[in-house]
Amino acid sequence: RRSENRVDLVFEISESRVVEVERIGFVGNRAFSDRRLRRVLGTKQAGLLRAIIKRDTFIADRIEFDKQVLRDFYLSRGYIDFRVLSVNSEIARSRDAFFVTFNVQEGQKFRFGEITTSSDLEEVDAEEFQKAIKIRPGGVYTPTLVETTIARMERLAIRKGLNFVRVEPQITRNDRDLTLDVEFVLSRGPRVFVERIDIEGNATTLDRVVRRQFKVVEGDPFNPREIREAAERIRALGFFKNADVTAREGSAPDRVVVDVNVDEQPTGSLNFGASYGTDNGLGFTVGFSEKNFLGRGQSLSFSLNTASENASAGFSFAEPAFLGRDVEFHFSGSYATTKGFNSSFDTRRVNFSTGLEFPVSENGRLEVHYFAGSDKIFNFDDGSNCVPSTSHILCAEQNEGNVISSGIGYRYSFDTRRKGLNPNAGIVFRFGQDIAGLGGDSKYIKTTALVGAETKVLSEEVTLRAVFEGGAVNSFGGTNSRLNNRFFLNGSKMRGFESFGLGPRVGDTITGDALGGNYFAVARFDAEFPLGLPEEYGITGGVFLDVGSVWGLDNKFGTTVDDTLHWRSAVGFSILWTTGIGPLRFNFSKALQKETYDRDRSFELTIQTRF
């Protein structure tokens, strides 16, 4: 107590330890296991990795989010009657742990029944809109497919000049056969227009970057569904922590003002590092990337690696809305040198490419590009100093000096893999060609193709994946393929072998230089499954089988090399670990079929990627 009626207040705080979620359980689930459902939730169980996982503390608001996520999960799989009856959160007597139990009611799984279209408007032909429906009777019911169909039909109406047409689904439930008949009814909606779009919170990002996520502008007919889709596109940019999009009445009853409130977040990264390896030697790396360059929504990156054996530098730039349209413009360049640690020669390569990419269908995209580059082989000696009369394929390529390539190409991709919450099925198809001969020295057509599919079985506990990939390079104009143009298989394409470990190889040098091949084909089969460990560890297992080969040369120049087709195969198992730096994959493999000159590998650590 002090004079003049004053006192000092002292707050004594005893923080104690953070209370973690010790266990998450479910009651009433039959279709999916506790393990599968826990993977959906934002709240995680505490475990050995509690120092890394930051979502294992009990937060009441997160539980509400988890309830909605569970409902979305079940609805997307046909369980239209799913409900979270209650959530019990109990704290341990020692007050150091929470036990959370979700009491759920799954209901029955429904499928699509009859799909029809009707119209309340004389000027609208329902049969024409029926053709836009891609839902097939018998498929598992999911609200996403219904919403996608509605959006597709409303876009079709706009293209036909039919404004204010709304599509409403009328769903008839058939409990006897567990199907839902869906009738899409076309009707006239209220005549409401967008008065303006107000954007706040974007201190760095330009207004136009946000506005182009809307397919409507001031004065266009107002469509609530389009506003919701625009909000999703804004959030998907990755520029903002939060993005709220709301609509309110404007200056008149038939006018709407769209308010966009965003909270920006950092979008760039700068990294420095040092590395040492037996293959590459000592080196330093510098990398920079920015996906919202100058607030324009453009991406920019560059990298530099000064490794003594393999040095490289590269840059790339992309404008996702070229000329204000849904067209991506990009260009990139790279420079790389290799010294002969694992080969008897050195190489130097310079590459540049620029192109445009744009959608051609709902799931398809097309990219067209121009490319130019040069490559050179040097410091190879077959014992004759590679005199012009020597008979060696590497001497022949070295004697060509610096070879210039220039040409055009295209890439088409079709991807139906589900986006968003727990993708569980889909196919992907890619096809591309590079045609060199637009000036320069090289003349070839290089073709690549990939077909892949994946699905989840056994209550989505097991993921099955199959990928078929192949390619061919065909030279013309009296030229031969070169190292830089031929195909090599690395560990991501053909497990069980070293990079450059299979295919045609020089048989008369100490290093046994890999030459690559004009053709390659590979099939990869994977199964991924839980190992019984707690989900919060992020560790699962897998098995795989790879079959493939690389073969074919235009001219061997008398070199001792086997370039005929020999199939190789390998089997193995994998440990997959989801970490903060990305999904790591530990492959343990055994080559079943190989040639005597192949170089197999029994263990490999990689960053897991999708096909």
What are residue 187's phi and psi, to 5 degrees?
A: -145, 170
Topology given in CATH for the domain delimited by 193-264: Ubiquitin-like (UB roll) (3.10.20)
- Decide: 332 and 355 in contact? Cβ < 8 Å: no
Q: Give which of 31, 15, 11, 20 is closest to 534, Cα–Cα.
A: 20
Q: Are 441 and 429 in contact (CB under 8 A)?
A: no
CATH topology of domain 111-188: Ubiquitin-like (UB roll) (3.10.20)
At a CB cut-off of 8 Å and minimum separation 6, what does 583 contact?
A: 576, 577, 607, 608
**Chain-wide mean pLDDT for the chain?**
88
User: In this structure, how many other beta carbons lie within 10 angstroms of the beta carbon of residue 378?
Assistant: 13
How many Å separate Cα 457 from the centre of its chain?
21
pLDDT at 137: 92
Query: How does pLDDT run across 482-504, given as a tens digit for each residue?
Result: 988 999 998 889 999 988 889 99
**Chain segment 25-71, per-residue pLDDT in tens:** 999 999 999 988 988 888 888 766 555 555 567 777 888 899 999 99
Q: Is the pTM of this model over 0.95?
A: no
> Distance (Å, rounded) from C-alpha 439 to C-alpha 404?
8
CA–CA dist 433, 128 (Å, integer): 36
CATH 2.40.160.50 in the chain: give the residue spans: 360-607
Where does 360-607 sit in CATH, by number?
2.40.160.50
Whether 608 shows a pLDDT value over 70: the answer reads: no
What pLDDT, on a 0 to 100 scale, did the predictor assign at position 382? 60
pLDDT value of residue 306: 86
Q: Given CA atoms 38, 43, 46, 50 in this order, what sign does their dihedral have?
A: positive
Angle at which helices 143-159 and 224-236 cross, to 10°: 110
Q: Which residues have C-beta within 8 Å of that of residue 349, sequence separation ≥ 6?
A: 334, 335, 336, 337, 373, 374, 375, 376, 484
| HEC string for 418-487 | CCCCCCCEEEEEEEEEEEECCCCCCCEEEEEEEEEEEEEECCCCEEEEEEEEEEEEEECCCCCCCCCCCE
Decide if 352 contacts 333 (C-beta within 8 A). Answer: yes
Strand-pairing partners, residue 413, are 365, 430
Mean pLDDT in residue range 104-119: 94
Tokens of 296: 């324009």
Which residue shows structure tokens 């099955």?
464
Ranges for all domains in the chain classified under CATH 3.10.20.310: 20-105, 111-188, 193-264
- Mean pLDDT confidence for 200-205: 92
Amino acid at the residue 146: V
Give yes or no for residue 445 having a pLDDT over 60.
yes
pLDDT score of 333: 97
Q: 293-301 contacts: CB < 8 A, separation 24 or more?
A: 295/202, 295/204, 295/205, 295/206, 295/209, 296/206, 296/209, 297/205, 297/206, 297/209, 297/237, 297/239, 297/321
Model confidence at 421, in pLDDT bands (50, 70, 90)?
very low
Which residue would you say has higher pLDDT here, 466 or 134? 466
In the structure encoding, which two tokens stand for residue 118, read together? 């009707």
Q: Angle at CA 69, nearest 5°, toward 68 and 73?
A: 120
pLDDT of residue 438: 92
Q: Does domain 20-105 have CATH number 3.10.20.310?
A: yes
pLDDT tens digits for 356-381? 999 998 889 999 999 999 999 888 86
